[in-house]
Every structure is written in structure tokens, then in C-alpha cells.
Amino acid sequence: MEDMIKTKTIHATGVCVAHKGILIIGESGSGKSTLALSLIAGGAKLICDDRANLRLKDDNLIMSKPPTLPSALEIRGLGLISVPLLDEVTVDLIVDLAKASGARLGGHEKQLLGIDLPCIHGRDFYRLSDALLVWSKFGGFQTI
């Protein structure tokens, strides 16, 4: 029973940029794979598309691709495309494409499997992929 609590499969896409794992959540058609494509074009590697296996390891949330999914990114109107892949990564940030942020400085969090993680509300976020690439490559968040 305890293992069931420590693992979960969710509707999501995951990428890794500069050793930082980004879990993208949202409804079907919300742009998860499109955002992942933009991040991959900027140097990210795909972890999973459409669904993500989540598990706890040493108080970290780890994401990986369910074994039944193809090792590719599905782009509507184009199909499955081959992209650089990684097997798993620690989740450092969640992007929620269902929510828009009214906060100028963000500061949102989301809890998954008991782990609190920073969460960007990404709906209608202009140049979100650029912001995520810069965040990943140059040090994350700063507090004021």
C-alpha cells in the first residue's frame, strides 16, 4: 500500500534543461507538447510526453516515461517526431498551463506526492519557453 502512495502516473509532459526538470501539466490540447517542442529547440531533452510516471526518491520527485509510451514527441498535425531523450530527472519546476497568473512575481507552489514545488501558471504567458530556458540555464528564481 505504501508504494502506491509514493508513485503516480499523471497527464503531463516532462523535459530537462541544463539539469533542471520541468513538468508541464494541463488539459489535452493545452499546449504541453508545443511548449516542450520550443524548449527542445532551445536545447532541452524530452523525458516524457502525454503521461509522466512520478515517484519519490530521497525526498525528491522523479519523473520518467511510462514504458508503454513511444520515445518521441507527438505534435498535432505532424505526428511523432524523434527528439533527444533522457530516462528520468528530478522535478524542479511545474508549469501549469490551465492557470493564468495574476501575480507579477509568481511565487506559486504545487504539491505532488507530498513534495512542494515551485509552479508557474503558464496560460497566456507570453514567451514562456524563453523564460523557462533562461530560468533553467542561469540559476532559477531570486527573491526580492
Residue 117 has a pLDDT of: 95
Residue 104 has a pLDDT of: 65
Marked catalytic residue, from 11, 19, 57, 127: 11
Residue 141 has a pLDDT of: 67
Residue 74 has a pLDDT of: 92
Marked catalytic residue, from 8, 45, 50, 123: 50
Residue 32 annotated among the catalytic residues of the structure: yes
Domains of the chain: 2-137 (3.40.50.300)
Residue 92 annotated among the catalytic residues of the structure: no
Residue 1 has a pLDDT of: 42
Residue 125 has a pLDDT of: 86
Marked catalytic residue, from 3, 58, 76, 104: 104
Marked catalytic residue, from 32, 65, 99, 110: 32
Residue 142 has a pLDDT of: 62
pLDDT digit string (tens) for the chain, length 144 residues: 444 458 899 999 999 999 999 999 999 889 999 999 999 999 999 999 999 999 999 999 999 999 999 899 999 889 999 999 999 999 999 999 998 877 666 778 899 999 999 998 888 888 999 999 998 988 776 655
Neighbouring residues of 70: CB distance < 8 A, sequence distance ≥ 6: 80
Q: What grid cell was written down for 119?
A: 509552479
Sign (positive or negative) of CA dihedral 95, 96, 102, 103? negative
Residue 102 has a pLDDT of: 72
**What stretches of the chain adopt beta strand conformation (E)?**
7-17, 20-25, 45-48, 51-57, 60-64, 73-75, 79-81, 88-96, 109-112, 115-121
Residue 104 annotated among the catalytic residues of the structure: yes
Burial of 122 per CB tally in 10 Å (0-12, 13-18, 19+): buried
